[in-house]
Structures are given as structure tokens and as C-alpha cells.
Amino acid sequence: MDSSKGINVDMRVRIGALELRNPVMTASGTFASGKEYADFVDLSRLGAVVTKGVSMKPWAGNASPRIAETASGMLNSIGLQNPGVEAFCAKDLPWLATQDVPVIVNVSGHSLAEYVAVAERLDSESAVDALEVNISCPNVDEGGMAFGTDCTSAADVTRAVRAVTSKTLIVKLSPNVTDVTEIARAVEAEGADAVSLINTLLGMAIDTDTWKPKLARSVGGLSGPAIKPVAVRMVWQVASAVSIPVVGMGGIMNAEDAVEFMLAGATAVAVGTANFVDPGATMRVVDGLEQYCRLRGLDRVSAMTGAVSR
Amino acid sequence: MDSSKGINVDMRVRIGALELRNPVMTASGTFASGKEYADFVDLSRLGAVVTKGVSMKPWAGNASPRIAETASGMLNSIGLQNPGVEAFCAKDLPWLATQDVPVIVNVSGHSLAEYVAVAERLDSESAVDALEVNISCPNVDEGGMAFGTDCTSAADVTRAVRAVTSKTLIVKLSPNVTDVTEIARAVEAEGADAVSLINTLLGMAIDTDTWKPKLARSVGGLSGPAIKPVAVRMVWQVASAVSIPVVGMGGIMNAEDAVEFMLAGATAVAVGTANFVDPGATMRVVDGLEQYCRLRGLDRVSAMTGAVSR
Amino acid sequence: MTLPAETERKLLERVTVLANDRVTEGVGLLVLESPRVARVVRPGQFVHLRISTGTDFVLRRPFSIHRVEEDRLHILYQVLGTGTRALAEKRRGEEMDLIGPLGHGWHIPDGVAHALLVAGGLGAAPMGMLAEELSAAGVAVTVAQGAPCADRLVGRGVFDATARRVETATDDGSEGQRGFVTALVESLLVSDRPDIVYVCGPEPMARIVTAQAAAASVPCQVSLERLMACGIGACLSCVVTTRDGQRRACVDGPVFDAESVVWDTSEIPPKH
Amino acid sequence: MTLPAETERKLLERVTVLANDRVTEGVGLLVLESPRVARVVRPGQFVHLRISTGTDFVLRRPFSIHRVEEDRLHILYQVLGTGTRALAEKRRGEEMDLIGPLGHGWHIPDGVAHALLVAGGLGAAPMGMLAEELSAAGVAVTVAQGAPCADRLVGRGVFDATARRVETATDDGSEGQRGFVTALVESLLVSDRPDIVYVCGPEPMARIVTAQAAAASVPCQVSLERLMACGIGACLSCVVTTRDGQRRACVDGPVFDAESVVWDTSEIPPKH
Ligand SMILES: Cc1cc2nc3c(=O)[nH]c(=O)nc-3n(C[C@H](O)[C@H](O)[C@H](O)COP(=O)(O)OP(=O)(O)OC[C@H]3O[C@@H](n4cnc5c(N)ncnc54)[C@H](O)[C@@H]3O)c2cc1C
Ligand SMILES: Cc1cc2nc3c(=O)[nH]c(=O)nc-3n(C[C@H](O)[C@H](O)[C@H](O)COP(=O)(O)OP(=O)(O)OC[C@H]3O[C@@H](n4cnc5c(N)ncnc54)[C@H](O)[C@@H]3O)c2cc1C
Ligand SMILES: Cc1cc2nc3c(=O)[nH]c(=O)nc-3n(C[C@H](O)[C@H](O)[C@H](O)COP(=O)(O)O)c2cc1C
Ligand SMILES: Cc1cc2nc3c(=O)[nH]c(=O)nc-3n(C[C@H](O)[C@H](O)[C@H](O)COP(=O)(O)O)c2cc1C
Ligand code: FES
Ligand code: FES
């Protein structure tokens, strides 16, 4: 930081036991394990890498087409395709361990037992700094979102994972619910160290030429700028309902969007769809956040968290 | 219809006891009672006019600012400002009665009693063809959306209004729920003749200059193209969950969007935010739908309803 | 005096950009060929312009008519956000569509002999045509114009051509009196004894001028900006609180009798 | 023969439009000044182009490199939807950014002496550079090209300049043989006895050619199109089912060993 440019900004934020050098994470599923972005992103300048969802056994994911573009957004129905936790530990983790960046592994499951098994398997991996338990994937038939749309099952998954992991535990919430604060409180009560939100909104698009859904799976998850107002609202609601940190995401394209989420109550943010638009998007958000703080005379980024006036 | 351009298309659709000359309605709150659009729209060429929400007593609505633009959409927190049902019957209805277009009055309430009172008051008005009961307004503190996010209260309102009206009864559903089909089934069971959806998604935007919410009320309803994928998905889900007709809306900007909703299962559609973009939008949707049918060799527009392949 | 009445009919017109030039840092002058609207627009009315035809930003943008020259509309605009940035990119020959003429413009009561026009910043935009009509009708016009600096005193051409007297104030003193335009108003109300005050500019300034005019017992009209979706009276996004209840800026305004305005927090927050 | 290897490093390059001209109804040729990518791109690779900088449509669009001329990339594109319509509007001098070079292009095995290139419609796009490299390496090139009509036989320039033989088929018989290109392939496999077949075009056609090549025991490579979000291997939106499991078209393809492809319903639905 060049002092001639003004004050030094303390960019650090804390999520559970984890101190991040800045609040900018990658959103799960949009950054793989980071290797693909290494030509565009200096991983050591990220707050954290959040990996693609990892399950116990390999998952093939859904049929194609798996994406569709929509106004200011996109639908995806990837369906958590992944090679399973063993392959992840064998291939991705060793590489990530060399990258000087906190690693948050996104944990998927078809069943409560699978969530627990993945969490347990990862607990012994020193390269893993935190788990983000995805109870909000709209793209799998069993499990996924079903766990995140009901307080009891959300609490059950959190409790069970909490019991087997000593790592920082983040639970990722679904926006496809009547009252997101209720779910947030339920997972907080079971020992989640933080919540992250939002996962994608369940959506659909139909091809008016072929009269078929644009996604082979019919429905998928909506992400991108289109959903930002819904995401900001939910972060704002949840931040005042729980006392654990909130990781905000949904449509963040630039630093100003990240500021909006922090003002709404997010301690950290994640950049998802924007990585597809600009593979270096995370770097621009990091730099832009720091620049914003400097221009506003803020000496720490965390001063923005929840600072929106009521 | 010029026969040289191909087949005649039967554009009529039926919603309860109401036969519409085509499936294109206006979305409540975006068209007032139509007078303001008379320079741009031939009202007699609409399927129906759906009025702004009408309550028993005059409502002042919310503080300003009441709108904010978002990516491919907008937030509004108008808050059902209206002069009350008496003023509506005295000023708007007589004018509407001369317009040769079916009139659907959007009914608002702070309480169950208010919904009933408005419905009762309108039952004797011959110029009113149908009621659309809005149990999904995200912009009022009591009533509004609270009724539409819970099966029991949605059923209660429907039952109570059904008891006092002989008119076609449409219930307007909120998208801010975990399972929209559950609410749709509940109102169907209580005698709704149709459901309309979606009302706006609850959203928020924050001004990163002032650190204040962009809307005076903090949160508001998201509409426009951004929400179309969510709307299409919900129409698709509801259409296969109930056997009453569905009126689809949310982000319809042109005829192709209307086709998408019909394929998903809508019998009729409503055009909202698009009226602000192009005050003649409804006319273009009517003409475009007919043109689309002609090009595809469809002799009736209703052939598209629910025709998306599974 | 009898001036043509505002038209009742709103038009949707496809218009061509004839020119779009930078006037000063962050301000442009857009000239549109818009014969149907040009024929009927009255001072203080506005048009609702569709800048994007994509879905990125869906709303139209309201702009006052600064002047009319034959079938051409002149619009003075400040580059602020998404829409005006895109507007500044429009090139000669491009087409757009607009709805207009909209709203209730300035009213010139019978018997007015001397008018004071108070413009703060881009508040000069809706006042060009007003100055022209007043002076054409034989009304003496004084203009008090304020801006951050000399460059930003936009619309000078028409004021110099029509007003008997033009006084300026700049925040940095680069032209005219250093300080706020309200200080000019204070003395002009005394020295020039206008029969009427017309004001447009940032709301805190307009509010002070309203009070100054009231204190001097001079009738005052103010043009207000509100966020607008439809622009034609249907959506209720643009309400202004008045003594007679909530009024829509797009049809009942943008010009209001200043004394009737209840100044609240509904103004649009200023941009940095 | 030794050809330069595909580069491992992906670049984000800000490029300038040097030309953007209509080639035929609904097809354009975009020439971009892109020195860094031009230097390293290999035949069959593609770039991921950011056409809009607004939020209206957020995804990039993938386009093959048709040819390279010094530091210029030539892209042949068909106007289909939102993105390509906007692309067709780009004028000389405008800037865009692209990521490239991406993907795994055509492979030229050692010992190939005679290659058959089969292009259906815009399938000619990724084959220009291939034809050039093959012929520069002394490989005899036969091109079998199909299109709806004569006009749509795009990329003819480079094929005529490099191929020993060019055979065409059009649906309407307006040039070459009437009917499908697959009929040409059937006879060329016999008459020309190629050592290798390269194919790109609509998937049903590519599938038939794959089978024809297999029946003739000639190795075959196919370039496939999939919907792509990231274009760099991270999002898994572009998977192709192969005998070795699901592969990403953007990094493991777009060129695949045709025999390994399991033809399913994941192709992009054709547009009207
Ligand atoms: C009746 C009327 C007449 C006007 N005449 C002029 C004029 O002659 N010259 C001029 O420069 N400006 C004028 N304005 C203001 C002009 O409309 C805004 O500057 C413009 O809409 C900003 O758009 P944007 O996309 O650049 O800003 P953004 O902030 O990106 O716009 C976001 C949303 O806020 C609205 N908005 C932002 N600022 C304003 C504002 N000050 N007033 C109304 N809406 C706003 C936009 O229309 C849009 O809906 C007028 C406003 C009104 C209501
Ligand atoms: C590796 C690769 C190379 C390609 N090379 C060329 C080329 O050289 N010339 C050419 O004309 N076309 C090429 N295409 C196809 C080109 O990408 C699409 O035609 C283009 O993306 C359509 O965009 P659109 O906005 O006009 O269509 P829209 O239908 O509006 O696009 C909507 C979404 O679907 C995607 N999409 C639609 N059609 C296709 C398609 N056929 N392939 C991939 N994505 C599609 C778009 O990228 C976008 O994400 C290539 C595709 C791939 C995957
Ligand atoms: C292609 C794609 C794949 C995703 N995969 C996952 C996943 O594996 N696990 C998960 O928790 N979220 C996943 N998400 C959701 C994102 O992490 C994020 O919550 C969402 O996209 C909203 O952020 P955005 O608008 O910035 O993309 C995925 C999103 C996209 C677009
Ligand atoms: C400014 C505005 C006011 C609205 N007022 C009402 C209302 O009074 N009653 C109601 O049921 N819906 C109201 N709505 C919701 C619309 O009728 C519609 O359900 C929603 O906007 C989605 O459609 P759209 O995306 O086409 O606008 C309003 C929407 C807007 C944008
Ligand atoms: S802008 Fe819609 S009522 Fe004024
Ligand atoms: S496009 Fe993202 S993995 Fe291929």
C-alpha cells in the first residue's frame, strides 16, 4: 500500500477461527479449485478459495445443456459433478496447499450421512481451513436444497457435521425459502460459525423454437446481477437475525457490489458468475474495495459491515 | 385477420367464467386503471385490464424514494397507494365501463376483513368482471404478502372472499415462498377460479454513496426481465399442481416471453414493468402472439398452454 | 397574455440524434429531431427517453426540454450514471424513442411583468424555453444562476439572449459572486422586485428560494425531480408531498406551486 | 512433422476491431488486432469474446479462429442471437476483450500424408488455419464442404488456396452436388483414401461422418460446440460424454477423437 495514496486500509476479516487477508472469496462452483484461474488471478491475494462442491462418491452431474443465459444472469444445472472427496484430496488439495490462500471446501451430500462422511474425511486434511456445507443446491434430486429449505433438516445437517469437524463451519443457505432468517437461526443454534448466502434461485427458461426447457434438467439455479437485489435483502435480514458472520454473494460483479453486500451486513463476500465474465474479477474486487475504503477514509474494511442506515 | 397471411388464430382464452378476447392482461399496479395509457393502447384490444390494488380506505403508500433500478429490473415499494374502493367506483369504474374491455380489480387488504369488505363492495358493480386478490404485496407492513406466504392464511382469505363474491376469483401468489404449489393448491381448494403469479420478489438495493437503502422503505419488490426465470419456473410448477387456469407474469417484455409463459402452463399472461419501458408493450405482445401462432400454424393460442415438453 | 395550452395527448415518437456534444465537463447537449413533440411542447415539460433497447437497464430517463428550434429538441444533460453515460455515447444519426411532451410545465400568470428565474446547476435545463417565452411575451427576465464553477454555468446562451439581467454565483468564485445563488436571490428580490420567481435546482437550494420568495410575498414555482418509472401518471413512483396530498411529479408536476410543496426526504439523493 | 505445441498459458487480451464485414446473409468476418493471441494460437483453438460490457447478457461467446494473419485474428461468425447480433454491430476501432487461445485444437499425427476436411455450414470456421498448416506441412488436403446454398459456402478463400481438391454440396444444388456433404464424404473416402478425417458442422452430420470414417477405418477428429460459461475448464457447463467419461469441451476439446464421443442429446438445439 502506497502511503502517498492515503491511509492504509486493514483489509482483514474474520470468519470463525479463520482470519482472511481480505473479504473476497470465490463462490463455490464458479472457480473449480482455482487452478484454471491461475493465469488470471494471484490466488494469494484472495481472501479464500471456496472449492466446487465435493461429495463422498464421484457424481456425474446432470445431462446437457446445463446452462442458459437469461437477462442479466444465467441458469445452471451442473448438478455438483465432481470426482469425489478422495480424488479431491489426492489431486486438488496438494496443489491448493502450495498456494498461500485459505481453502474452504464446499461440502455436498445426497444424504445426511454423506455430508458427515465428507466432513469427516476432510477433518484430517491440514490444507483445509474451513468447510462450507451446501444445503442449498437446487440441482440435485435428493439432498441439496431439500436440506436447506426446512429448519429441522438444516439443523440436523449442521449438528451432524459440527460433531465431526473441528474446522470453521460455514453453512450455505438457500434463497428459495419463505423465511431465510429462520433457517439461519437454526443453523447458528447448532454451532455453525458462519452462514453464506445466497445460493442460486430456482429458475427455468423455455426455448420458444423447440418448446423444450433450455436446461436438460428443466429447472436450474439463477445467478448473476439479476439476483443481486434478492441477495442483498437476504443478507440484510440474516445479518440482523444472527450474531455469526455472514458471507454475502449473488451477482457481485465489481467492488461497488461488494460494498453493497458489506453494508447490508456481510463480513466477507464471494464472487461467482462474474468469474465467467472476467476471469480476473476477484482481483478487481479486492483492489476496488481497498480503493473504496481509502477514498472514504476508512482504515478497515470491516467498518462497512452492517453499516447501512436504517 | 388477413387470410392471405395464413390461418385465422383463435386468440380467446377462458379464466373462470370470463372469456377474454386474447390472453394478454395488464399487471396490477403498472397500468393504473388504464386511462393514462389510452394514448398508447387501444384498451379494447386487451384481454383484460387489471387495475391497481384497491383497498377499503384510502392508503397513502410508502415514503419516497419508491423505486430503484436494478440489473434488468426494478424495485418498487409503492405500497398500494390508492384512493380507496369508493373513489375507485366513483372515478375509475365508470370510465372503464365504457372501454369495451373486461375489468379485473386487484383487491388489497391490511386484514382479512378488509379484503372481504372490498370484495363485497365490488360484487354489486356490474362493470367489474373479476377480482384478483393480492395476497402477495411485499410493500405493506401488515397484510399483503403475509397472507400469501402461509397456506392457512391464503386459504382463509380465499374462502372469505369466495363467500362474498359471485365474480370470477383470481388469487395472486407470492414468489417469496418455499413451495408455491402448496399455496396454489390451498387457494384452489377454497374455490379460487384461477391463480396469477408471480408478484414481485422481495429485494433491496443500497446506495454506496450515501450508505442508505435506495428505497425509503428499505425493501421492495423486484420486477422486470431479471425475474422471468423464477416466474416461468413457478408457473410451470403451479400449472401441474392445480387444475384451475394460471395467469403468468414476471418480466414479460415481448410476445416471445409471453409464449414462454404459456408453454410453461399459463392460460393468460400479464405485462407489468414492460409498460414503463414501452407504453404500447401490451399491443406488441397481442400482435406478436397472434403472429407467432400464425407462423407456427397454430389455429388457437391456447394450444400453447402447458405444451413444453417434459 | 395567452400562450398555447399544454397538449393533452402524449406521443411516442421515434427520434433521430442530430447532434450530441460536450458542453463542459460532464454535461452534454443533445439535439433530437422530434417534429411532433417539438410542435406542442411547453416550457418546463419533459420527455421520457428510452436510452437502452437492451434489458440491462430497463427504465426510461426523464429530461426537460431546454429549448426548441423548429422541429428540434435541445436537451441539456448531466452525465451521472448508467443511463446518462450511455446517452453521452449516442452519435449523430442514431435513433431512440421518447414519450412526450409530459407533465405540467411552468405557468405564466396573467399580468406578470418581471420574472426572476433561479437556476442551480442543471436547473438551468428546463428554463431556456421559459426565458424565451417570457421575453417574447414582453416580460422582463432576470436570471440568477449558480454553479460550482464558471464552466458549469450551462445554458448561458439562451439566458444572455433573453434576460435583461443575468447574475451568477459560483462556489469557487471563478465567475460572479463567490458562494450560493441564494445570496443573489436575497438581493434581487429587493433590487429587482419580480412579480414571480421560477426555481429549479438542488432541493435544499430550491427550498431556501421558496422561503425567500414567500418572505417577500412573491409567488414561486418550482420544478422538482423525482425517480420516475412510467412518466405518465400510472405507477405512483414519483410522488411529491404537497399540502393537497400526494401528487405525481410526472403529470401534476414537475412544476409545482412552491408554497404547496411539503419538503420531505423524498428528494433524490445527490451523487458524488 | 513438428508443429509448435499449444501454449499452456491463457491470455486476457484487449483487442481492437480492424474490420467487421458481412460475408453473406447472416455471416460476418471479424478481424481483430490481437498480437499476443495471434502469436500462439493453434488450429482449432478458440477465443472467448466479451461482446457486451453491460449486464444485459453476461456471458462471453466462444469463437474459433478461422485464420491468423500476422497479429490479426480472423473470425467467421454466424448471426444467431443476442450476442452475435451485437457483434455484428461492432465497428472498426471499437475495443473488446477476449480470453485465448483456448482449448485443445486439431491434432496432426505424424505420418499423415492426405487429410480430408469435412465442413458443414459454419463448421468451416475452425478449419481455415488447419488447411493452411496441413498444406504448409506438405499434407495433401481435400475439402468436402456443405451448406444450404452456394452463398453459405463460407471460408472458400482459404480452402481454394490450400486444398488440392475442394468438393461442395448444397441443399438446393446452387453449387456442387445437390444434397448432403455426407454423400461427398462417402465417395471421397474411397476415391481419395485420406489418412485422416477432420470434421466440424452440425452434430447429426458430424456423427454420420464419424461413422463413415470408422467404417473406412480412417481416424477422425471432430470439433464440437457446447454452451460455455467460463471457457477455461472451471464451470463444467460444456461437458461432452466420451468413452472416458465426461470431458470439458473448452479444455479437453473442442476437438475430440471422434470415436471416443458418445453421441447423446447434449448438443445445442439448432435455431430457426
Ligand atoms: C422531470 C425531470 C426532468 C429532468 N430534466 C433533466 C434535464 O433536463 N437534464 C438533466 O441532466 N437531468 C434531468 N433530470 C434528471 C435526469 O432524469 C437524471 O439525471 C437521469 O435520469 C439520471 O440517469 P442515470 O441513468 O444517469 O443515473 P442512474 O443513477 O444510473 O439512474 C438510476 C435511476 O435513477 C433515476 N435517477 C437518477 N437521478 C435522477 C434524477 N436526478 N432525477 C430523476 N431520476 C433520476 C434514473 O432515471 C434511473 O431510473 C430530470 C429529471 C426529471 C424527473
Ligand atoms: C468452441 C466453439 C467455437 C465456436 N466457433 C464459432 C465460430 O467460429 N463461428 C460461429 O459463428 N460460431 C461459433 N461457435 C458458436 C458460437 O459460440 C455461437 O453461435 C454464439 O455463442 C451464439 O451467441 P448468440 O448470443 O448469438 O446466441 P444466443 O442464443 O443468444 O446465446 C445464448 C447463449 O447460448 C450460447 N450459444 C448459442 N448457440 C451456441 C453455439 N452454437 N455454440 C456455443 N454456444 C452457443 C451463447 O454463447 C450464449 O451463452 C463456436 C462455439 C464453440 C463452443
Ligand atoms: C455454474 C455454477 C456452479 C455452482 N456450483 C455450486 C456448488 O457446487 N456449490 C455451491 O454451494 N454453490 C454453487 N453455485 C452457487 C454459487 O456459489 C453462488 O452461490 C451463486 O452463483 C450466486 O452468486 P453469483 O451470482 O455471484 O454467481 C454455483 C453457481 C454456478 C453459476
Ligand atoms: C410499480 C409496481 C406496482 C405494483 N403494484 C401492484 C399492485 O398494486 N397489486 C399487485 O397485485 N401487484 C402489483 N405489482 C406487481 C405486478 O403486478 C407484477 O406481479 C410484477 O411486477 C411482475 O411482473 P413484471 O415483471 O412484468 O412487472 C406492482 C408492480 C410494480 C412494478
Ligand atoms: S412516474 Fe409513474 S406516476 Fe409518475
Ligand atoms: S465452459 Fe466452463 S468448463 Fe467448459
Cβ(C227) – ligand 5 distance below 6 Å: no
Q: Where are the domains of chain C?
A: 5-102, 114-260
Q: What is the pLDDT of residue B208?
A: 97
C236 CB less than 6 Å from ligand 5?
yes
pLDDT at A310: 77
Q: Enumerate residues lining ligand 3, CB below 6 A.
A: A 27-30, 52-53, 76, 78, 80, 106, 134, 137, 172, 199-200, 223-224, 227, 249-252, 271-274; D 235
User: Phi-psi category of D245—alpha, beta or left, where left has phi over 0 and alpha has psi -120 to 50?
Assistant: left
pTM for the full predicted model: 0.96
Give me the pLDDT at residue C87, please: 96
pLDDT band at D7 (very low <50, low <70, confident <90, very high): low
pLDDT, position B143: 59
- By alpha-carbon position, which residue is closest to atom 25 of ligand 2? D83
Residue B270 has pLDDT above 80, yes or no: yes
Measured in angstroms, the CA of C214 and the nearest CA of chain D are apart by: 47
Per-residue pLDDT, B4: 44
Per CB-CB distance under 8 Å, the chain D contacts of B71 are 55
A:D CB pairs within 8 Å: 108
DSSP for residue C121: G
Q: Given CB atoms, is D53 within the 8 Å cutoff of chain B?
A: no
Residue B211 is predicted with a pLDDT of 97
B292 confidence band (pLDDT: 50, 70, 90): very high
Question: Would you state the pLDDT for residue B159?
Answer: 96
Please, what are the domains in chain A?
3-304 (3.20.20.70)
> What CATH number does the domain located at D114-260 have?
3.40.50.80
Identify whether the C-beta of residue A73 lies closer than 8 Å to the C-beta of residue D258.
no
Cell triple for D179: 444434397
User: Which pLDDT tens digit goes with each residue over D194-248?
Assistant: 999 999 999 999 999 999 999 999 999 999 999 999 999 999 999 999 999 999 9
Give B46 Cα–ligand 6 centroid separation in angstroms: 45
- Let me know: does C45 contact C255? Beta carbons within 8 Å: no
What is the reported pLDDT for B171?
97
Sequence-ordered list of residues with C-beta below 8 angstroms from that of B71, at least 6 positions apart, any chain: A72, A73, A224, A225, A226, A228, A251, B226, C56, C57, D55
Ligand 5 centroid distance, CA of C227 (Å): 8
Q: For D105-125, how does the pLDDT look when each residue is reduced to its tens digit (9 = 90+)?
A: 999 999 999 999 999 999 999
**Mean pLDDT, residues B138-156 taken together:** 78
pLDDT above 90 (res A138)? no
pLDDT of residue A35: 95
Mutate to test the pocket of ligand 3, among A28, A82, A271, A282 (most ligand atoms within 8 A of CB): A28
Q: Is C250 close to ligand 5, i.e. is its CB under 6 Å away?
A: yes
Q: What does R_g of chain D's alpha carbons equal in angstroms?
A: 17
Statement: residue D6 has pLDDT above 60 = no
pLDDT tens-place string over residues C189-198: 999 999 999 9
The answer to whether the beta carbons of residues A192 and A167 sit under 8 Å apart is no
Model confidence band, residue A3 (pLDDT cutoffs 50, 70, 90): very low
Band the pLDDT of A137: cuts 50, 70, 90: confident
Contacting residues for B270 by C-beta, under 8 A, at least 6 apart: B24, B25, B26, B27, B28, B50, B196, B247, B248, B249, B252
Task: Indicate the pLDDT class of residue A143, thresholds 50, 70 and 90.
Answer: low
Asked whether the predicted pLDDT for residue D50 surpasses 90, the reply is: yes
* Cα gap C40→C4, rounded to integer Å: 9
C38 grid coordinates: 417539438
Average pLDDT, chain A: 94
B208-255 pLDDT, tens digit each: 999 999 999 999 999 999 999 999 999 999 999 999 999 999 999 999
- Whether B69 and chain C come into contact, CB under 8 Å, resolves to yes
Q: Please give the residue that has the higher pLDDT: either C5 or A151.
A: A151
Query: Which cell is D15 given?
Result: 483487442
Give the per-residue pLDDT at A172: 97
Beta carbons of B72 and A72 less than 8 Å apart: yes
Lowest model confidence (mean pLDDT) among A144-158, B47-61, B141-155, C20-34: B141-155
Per-residue confidence band for C264, with pLDDT thresholds at 50, 70 and 90? confident
Check whether D272 has a pLDDT greater than 90: no
**Mean pLDDT across the stretch A18-43?**
97
* Kind and range of the H or E run holding C24: strand C11-24
Residue A260 with chain B: CB contacts under 8 Å = 205-206, 208
Strands A13-15 and C72-78: unpaired
What pLDDT score does C7 carry?
58
Rounded to two decimals, the ipTM of the complex is 0.95
Cβ atoms within 10 Å of A5's Cβ, excluding its own: 12
What is residue C5's predicted lDDT score, i.e. its pLDDT? 53
Partner-chain residue, chosen from B177, B202, B206, that has the shortest CB–CB distance to A264: B206
Q: Is the pLDDT of residue C52 over 70?
A: yes
Q: Show the 3-state SS of chain D.
A: CCCCCCCCCCEEEEEEEEEEEEEECCEEEEEEECHHHHHHCCCCCEEEEECCCCCCCCCCEEEECCEEECCEEEEEEECCCHHHHHHHCCCCCCEEEEEEEECECCCCCCCCCEEEEEEEHHHHHHHHHHHHHHHHCCCEEEEEEEECCHHHCCCHHHHHHHCCEEEEEECCCCCCEECCHHHHHHHHHHHCCCCEEEEECCHHHHHHHHHHHHHCCCCEEEECCCCCCCCCCCCCCCEEEECCEEEECCCCCEEEEHHHECCCCCCCCCCC
Summarize pLDDT for B183-195 with one digit per residue, the tens. Answer: 999 999 999 999 9
Q: D5-102 domain in CATH 2.40.30.10?
A: yes
The band of C270, judged by pLDDT with boundaries at 50, 70 and 90, is: low
Contact of C227 with chain B, judged by CB distance below 8 Å, is answered with yes
Compute the mean pLDDT over every residue in chain C, rounded to the nearest whole number.
Answer: 92
